[in-house]
Amino acid sequence: MDGVSRPLPRPFLVLATQNPVDLEGTFPLPEAQLDRFLLRVKIGYPSAQEEGEILERFGAADPLLGLGAVASPDEVLAAQRARRAIRVERSIRDYVIAISAATRQHPEIALGARPRASLGIYQAAQAWAGIAGREFVLPDDVKRMAPAVLIHRLMIAPQAPLRGQQLDELLAAIIDRVPVPVEG
């Protein structure tokens, strides 16, 4: 800040929320900054039962006041190291690259995935494999994580919505069209 680097504690994580309806007082981030976020996770609305549970939890007290840490900084760093040890075969790596390249070549996408997006898919697939208890990445891990890694990084062409195209649908079609590596 002001020409001075200020070291941040490790791990340093940023979580952000996005309200697509009310932008008063906020401004959309430029593509270069959006590209720094690993995932975009769409939560949606709770079911009626879930919403009832929310009302009950918040009715008598504020449960947020009693929240505690679910992991220490050392545990987060250990999880990051463990993710790096998850094996990614060359065919899976090439599959990640092919998905990113397909977004760059699609006529309905004005701004395709950059190399940081490929790295994000790669790392998110490793993390998902680790969560699943595996020491290796499967094509299904890539397919599962690619939408969350890519959706906020791509820019749909201006004419696409006029043709009824939505970015999430285009992305799903691209992922479905890229050939999945199979065991030889």
Q: For every residue of 15-82, which 3-state class applies, written as one string? A: CCCCCCCCCCCCCCCCHHHHCCCCCCCCCCCCCHHHHHHHHHHHHHCCHHHHCCCCCCHHHHHHHHHH
Residue 30: burial class (beta carbons within 10 Å; 0-12, 13-18, 19+): exposed
CB contact at 8 A, 184 and 72: no
Please check the confidence at residue 18 and state whether its pLDDT lies above 80: no
Please check the confidence at residue 161 and state whether its pLDDT lies above 90: no
Domain ranges of the chain: 86-177
Please check the confidence at residue 47 and state whether its pLDDT lies above 70: yes
Tokens for 173, please give them: 């079609």
Please check the confidence at residue 19 and state whether its pLDDT lies above 80: no
Model confidence, pTM: 0.86
CA distances from 18 to 35, 41, 94, 113 (A): 15, 10, 32, 21
Q: Give domain 86-177's CATH architecture.
A: Orthogonal Bundle (1.10)
Give me the pLDDT at residue 153, please: 93
CA distances from 176 to 55, 65, 81, 95, 140 (A): 40, 44, 31, 12, 11
Instruction: Give the pLDDT confidence of 127-136 residue by residue, as tens digits.
Output: 999 999 999 9
